Amino acid sequence: METNTAIGLNPLLEPFNTLHDTAPFTKIKNEHFLPAFKAAITLAKKEIQEVIDNPEVPTFENTVEAMERSGERLSIIRGVFFNLNSAETNDELQQIAQEVAPLLSEFGNDISLNEDLFARVKLVYEQKDQLDLNTEQQTLLDNSYQSFVRNGANLNAEDKEKYRKITGELSKLGLQFQQNVLAETNAYEMHLTDEAELAGLPDFVREAAALTAKQKEKSGWIFTLQHPSFIPFMKYSDRRDLREKLFRASSCKGNQGNEYDNKEIIKKILSLKLEKANLLGFSSHAKFKLERRMAETPEKVTTFLDELHQASKPFADSDLAEVQQFANEAGFEGTIERWDWAYYSEKLKNARYGFNEEAVKPFFKLENATKGIFGLAKQLYKLEFRKSDEIEVYHPDVQAYEVYNEAGDFIAVFYMDFFPRESKRSGAWMTDYRSQYMEDGVNKRPHISIVCNFTKPTETKPSLLTFDELTTFLHEFGHALHGMLSQCQYASTSGTNVYWDFVELPSQMHENWAYEKEWLDQFAVHYETGEKLPEELIHKIVEAKNFQSGYFSERQLSFGMLDLSYHTLTEPLAESIPEFEAKAMKNMNLLKPVEGALMSTAFSHIFAGGYDAGYYSYKWAEVLDADAYSVFMKNGIFDQATADSFRKNILEKGGSEHPMLLYTRFRGQEPTVDALLERSGLKK
């Protein structure tokens, strides 16, 4: 491959001569990406052409495995670029993304629509029963064949051209949607200069807002739409007018009729996805997507969501009535609005359980929580995390670790990026720069990253996590374990490359330890006094666990139903986005709709994040995780045999087998919703 370009030596096209072949972030410049992508695509095409031109009879090894091994350099560059575009972006990177997306889409289409290549794969697939393949090889063969079919290989020439055009447009629209949400998030700030406007806000919230103002070279306090700023303000501010102002700003992202408006982008995305599904022989995008999911059909998902809705709704109505009554007894007149919910819920929670975030935050210093989570991984899976200054990072906030097993073998590289910044999209996610795979008998270990938006340190206090942030940390770390502990043959079947409605099992199951005194006792100490988290507070955390579980279940179900409603459309969307959203969420909406507020235009999960026709998977995985964790509850939360079984049957296996087979191998039976309903207090 030609590594010298007009800009000199391109580090993305050279072997990474760094510790564990990690990305040399300090050498990579924006101008390296486009030429690197073009050179790597050219190389990948050459590697694929060699498979096509192979004069030997197609075999699993010379066709399916050879395809799996192709494009390695492109995969590395793609990982570096798109991870940076999410976590440390800028205008130039976003522009490059718009140029690169159609190139990658075209390259993907060149492979999936190549008749000669498909003919070789099909020949191998038709002989699969006669081949001596292990389980993972059978999975790879099936995945490869289905990928061709589901990406247009059987289309006629005219429809293949339509398919190319559709996928190219979709690749750009998803990026544009996400960029618009980030721009809207960064564009807004609520600048307060009168201390009276801070009424009700705890010191940690005030101090963080003052630091934000100082960083922006302004006086007073600044509140933003980033979660660590937005959520505490909505919970604690006594100023109802300001809560309403901030809520309206947050809830109308992408719906302001400006250059960042996402409504027409949504309609285009939906129309193109439907057209693509129709081309491939499906009546809706959801039918197409769910064919390769545990849930299998939209009808099953609808039944699943409705079953949970019927169980949750009475409890959700009760939750709403309780908050309304509490607010009225506290002197509030009228019906609570969406900007009142978090405020009065927090006060009710504190009144009922004596639990508030301000009381527990001092015990969840980020560094201590990190030690606790690493300690959990050591107890369950015998992992050791060693901080490394040799591994390069892309931002000063990022920490890099080497991960080792009990035998001292290197297991993974692990990056952690915790704090919000304008160059990072909101939310929290796990990703990888390299998946685990085997190559010539060498186990290539993965490079895993978790990216979050936690409460930042201030000038006088370290980063102190809310309890929700602690569970988020555990959630993303669960995903990371799925990537780090993988023991598979192929990158495409390793780690988190599993059915979409299975991927949340490891993440959601590891959240359960946040409620366990035995684990909290290991690290939760007051950051100033060293005092252990009092047993009384732990009791309050556990007691408050199911507080408003009906409301939160309905809220999550409403997101899943909105997603499914969009993607089960069999005709292009005729009505407006606000009208459609209102209708789709009507049965699960508990609070009065707010004019101008729209979920859809900032719903990045389904329009830019791969959860299209898949948002239900969070609730689906809750069923799996409640059922799976019941084994730990029965045998002991640190029981070695249970942890070994979960590691061996779930975490190490990736997507090498059908997820239900993996799950039943661990659990001994298929899951039911009973464990979830009981754990959530939604079963009388």
> Are 446 and 432 a contacting pair, CB within 8 Å?
yes
Annotated catalytic residue within 184, 346, 469, 476: 476
Give yes or no for a contact between 309 and 587, defined as CB atoms under 8 angstroms apart. yes
Q: How far apart are CA 614 and CA 346, in angstroms?
A: 31
Question: What single letter denotes the amino acid at residue 203?
Answer: D
| Contact in structure between 337 and 591 (CB atoms under 8 Å) | yes
End-to-end CA distance of the chain: 65
How far is Cα 578 from Cα 556, in angstroms, rounded to an integer? Answer: 19
**Active site annotation includes 678:** no
- CA geometry: angle 417, 429, 137, nearest 5 deg: 120
Rg (CA), the chain: 25
> 636: which residues sit within 8 A by CB, 6+ positions away?
642
Burial of 442 (0-12, 13-18, 19+ CB in 10 A): exposed
Backbone φ/ψ region at 226: left (φ over 0), alpha (ψ -120 to 50), beta:
beta
- Phi-psi group of 471: left, alpha or beta (phi > 0 → left; psi -120 to 50 → alpha; rest → beta): alpha
Q: Are 268 and 173 in contact (CB under 8 A)?
A: yes
**322-337 burial code (b ≥16 CB/10 A, e <16):** bbbebbeeeeeeeebe
Number of Cβ within 10 Å of residue 501's Cβ equals 24
Buried/exposed 211-250: b ≥16 CB within 10 Å, e otherwise: bbbeeeeeeebbbbbbbbbbbbbbbbbebeebbeebbebb
Residue 268 carries which side chain, given as an amino acid letter?
K
Handedness of CA 293, 294, 297, 303 (dihedral sign): negative
Q: Do residues 174 and 102 make contact, with C-beta atoms less than 8 angstroms apart? A: no
Rounded CA gap, 87 and 424, in Å? 4
d(CA 107, CA 432) in angstroms, rounded, equals 22
DSSP states of 241-266: HHHHHHHHHHHTTT-SSSTT--HHHH
Question: Strand, coil or helix: what is 460?
Answer: coil
Instruction: Kindly tell me the burial class for residue 363, based on how many C-beta atoms sit within 10 Å of its own C-beta (0-12, 13-18, 19 or more).
Output: buried
Neighbours of 661 (CB within 10 A): 11
Query: Which three-class secondary structure state does DSSP give residue 22?
Result: coil
Residues that are catalytic: 476
